[in-house]
Amino acid sequence: VHDDSEPVDEAELAIEGALRPTSLSEFVGQQKVRGQMQLLLDAARIQQRPADHILLSGPPGLGKTTLAMIVAHESNRPLRLSSGPAIQHAGDLAALLSSLTPGEVLFIDEVHRMARSAEEMLYLAMEDFRIDIMVGKGAGATSIPLDLAPFTLVGATTRSGLLPNPLRDRFGFTAHLEYYEPEELERVIERSAVMLGVSLPPAARAEIARRSRGTPRIANRLLRRVRDYLVVHGRTGADIATVDAALDLYDVDAIGLDRLDRAVLDMLVRRFRGGPVGLSTLAVAVGEEPDTIESVVEPYLVRIGFMGRTPRGRIAMPDAYAHMGVPSAESALR
Ligand code: ADP
């Protein structure tokens, strides 16, 4: 989502897939979520039934898809991948659900973007493994009940606040993924570096982690850029200087903020003199969708203490001025 500015080609996607952990024990960080999911999967295995439905929320790149794959892998069930935007009619969902095999894990990314009519069909499907298919229109319309094979739904959303309560209530387990600590990202990088055949001293790993915006996907991507740099320069190992040289070529600053993060901060501290400014005004000013600002940019800026959310709008915090090289709210005026 955030990273759409960078062209993603098939080879990149293949590498991303290859770097995905396939078991909970390989999955770095998110200790609490991992423990809870392990229990959920163990219970299902002992009782020989599909696991409860799982809702994962959090910004892009934190491991929601990976966890869905792990659920399928650890419970030895097939996995079906879909997404909210692909389900624009109840019929799309009916076709999907009726084709599931018993125990299959169904992953719906961006589940908050499903059509309303499909959402309602999903309530019944999740609860009773049954749907009602409407046939005909007007007075002659009838509904035909259809039994489904039991399945496990793993829903992912960047905006759990947008999910209607009846849908959220039907997930047996809900987890919010948090941004990763630098030490955790170092472990992600260490693991991926081995798989990519790149040798990195701890200090170089720490440098990549520091620039990864708390996000494993970004950590892996930056690592690949460092690897490209090494390949081009005919080397196999990287020190900090090499990492910096490689990453300075990309729009990632010293603390990992990218072009859009900085555009938002710049608007906030300069044009709007620190705010408060409404979300949609801010979004228009930087030429982005409000949804992207709210679900991708803002959570991280809030998390690192650069931005605050008030009832009257978004405000810049002191650290944001310092980072953007703007002395203070007042002098930004002149
Ligand atoms: P999301 O679905 O939340 O956008 P993904 O599951 O696609 O994120 O993860 C993006 C990438 O980051 C994947 O390639 C995966 O290898 C890596 N990744 C995410 N979380 C972890 C983790 N906890 N440990 C190791 N790698 C991870």
Q: What is the DSSP string of 29-62?
A: S-HHHHHHHHHHHHHHHHTTSPPPPEEEESSTTS
Token reading at 229? 């740099």
Average pLDDT value for residue range 54-78: 96
Q: What integer pLDDT is reported at residue 40 of this predicted model?
A: 96
Average pLDDT over the chain reads 92
pLDDT-based confidence at 333, cuts 50/70/90? low
| CB-CB contact of 313 with 273 (8 Å) | no
Distance CA 127, CA 107 (A): 16
The interaxial angle of helices 182-196 and 202-210, nearest 10 deg, is 120
What is the value of pTM for the model shown? 0.91
Confirm whether residue 223 is marked as ligand binding.
no
> Are the C-beta atoms of residues 182 and 134 closer than 8 Å to each other?
no
pLDDT at position 329 is: 57
State the closest ligand 1 atom to the C-alpha of 20, by its place in the atom list counted from 1: 16
3-state secondary structure of 82: strand
The letter for the amino acid at 183 is: E
179 is in an annotated binding site: no
pLDDT of residue 261 exceeding 70: yes
CA 125 to chain centre: 25
ipTM: 0.99
Instruction: Tell me if 259 is assigned to a ligand binding site.
Output: no
Q: Is 187 part of any known ligand binding site?
A: no
Q: What is the pLDDT of residue 330?
A: 57
Average pLDDT score over residue span 205-222: 96
For ligand 1, mutation pick of 66, 215, 295 (most atoms within 8 Å of CB)? 66
The verdict on the CB of residue 59 being under 6 Å from ligand 1 is no
The answer to whether residue 68 scores a pLDDT higher than 50 is yes
**Gap from CA of 284 to ligand 1 centroid (Å):** 30
pLDDT of amino acid 190: 96
Weakest mean pLDDT among 69-73, 113-117, 226-230, 237-241: 237-241
* Cα separation, 33 vs 331, whole angstroms: 45
Rounded distance from Cα 141 to ligand 1 centre (Å): 45
The half-sphere exposure of 11 on its side-chain side, counting CA atoms within 13 A, is: 1
pLDDT tier for residue 4 given thresholds of 50, 70 and 90? very low
Q: 269 and 320 in contact (C-beta within 8 Å)?
A: yes
Question: How do residues 105-114 score in pLDDT, each as one tens digit?
Answer: 999 999 999 9
CB 62 less than 6 A from any atom of ligand 1: yes
Q: Is 313 helix (H, G, I), strand (E, B) or coil?
A: strand
Distance between Cα 332 and ligand 1 center (Å): 39
How many CA atoms are closer than 13 Å to the CA of 202, on its beta-carbon side?
2
Among 62, 67, 218, residue to substitute to test ligand 1 (most atoms within 8 Å of Cβ): 62
Sign of CA dihedral 66, 67, 73, 79: negative
Return the HEC string of 167-196. Answer: HHCCCCEEEECCCCCHHHHHHHHHHHHHHH
Question: Where are any strands of DSSP class E within 100-231?
Answer: 105-109, 130-135, 142-147, 152-157, 173-176
The Cα 153–Cα 309 span in angstroms is 33
pLDDT tops 70 at residue 2: no
What is the crossing angle of helices 182-196 and 216-232, to 10°? 40
Residues 6+ apart with CB under 8 A from 8: none
**Alpha carbons 35 and 161: distance in angstroms, whole number:** 24
Reported as a single tens digit per residue, the pLDDT across 146-176 is 999 999 999 999 988 889 999 999 999 999 9
| Residues 159/112, Cβ–Cβ less than 8 Å | yes
The CA 9 to ligand 1 mean position distance, Å, reads 17
Ligand 1: nearest atom to the Cα of 59: 3
Could you tell me what percentage of the chain is helix, strand and coil, using 3-state DSSP and rounding each to the nearest 5? 50, 15, 35
